[in-house]
Homo-oligomer: A and B are copies of this chain.
């Protein structure tokens, strides 16, 4: 595949991403993507054989980017643990609220359809990675006397399940920005020693 094809592949993925963000996974047809890309039916098949293949490719790009963004943002600074955790959660919040180009629904549809287990499941990898980052941040915070927490891992997991809950709720029940702030704050406040909390 030459240079040109790589460009086109990227172009297709960009457009496909928009389609998945709009319609989820199950409702997307190859025709939807063809129309969005304004290429020929046959042309799309040269690059991707199915919506599944397309979606996995979109997801792969997504995750590669995410790693660079959130993780780096969260860990590479020399800010305090609290600030870094706040930064990380801000990133999550942005994700939850993002209306355009959000793959949450498509991703849930995909992975509830094709059960993928263990580390082949990017959703799981992402979740576990996030848990580990948060755990680390809390531990750092505890070491520095900034936080109080007897079970950093438990707390990190609790936080991420709340985030998952908020994600799905925002797509189904509807969640305001204030509600997200409130939920995340609720967890964070549990980390702050009582005397500081008042």
Contact pick for A165, options B112, B154, B155, B168, CB 8 Å: B168
Chain A: interface residue count, which band?
35 or more
* Most B CB within 10 A of own CB, among A113, A127, A151, A155: A113
CB-based contact A117/B168 at 8 Å:
no
Complex interface residues of chain A between 175 and 192 (CB less than 8 A to chain B) = 182-183, 186-187, 190
Q: A165-B165, A186-B151 are in contact. Are A171 and B26 (CB under 8 A)?
A: no
Task: Give the docked Cα–Cα distance between A115 and B174 (Å).
Answer: 8
Residues of B within 8 Å of A167, CB to CB, are 168
- Copies of the chain in the assembly: 4
When C-beta atoms are compared, the residue in chain B nearest to A171 turns out to be B112
When C-beta atoms are compared, the residue in chain B nearest to A157 turns out to be B183
CB-based contact A158/B172 at 8 Å:
no
Known interface pairs A158-B186, A165-B166; 16 further A-B residue pairs with C-beta atoms within 8 A, sorted by A's residue number: A24-B26, A24-B112, A27-B113, A109-B109, A112-B171, A117-B174, A123-B173, A124-B174, A127-B173, A154-B186, A158-B183, A158-B187, A162-B162, A162-B165, A163-B165, A164-B169
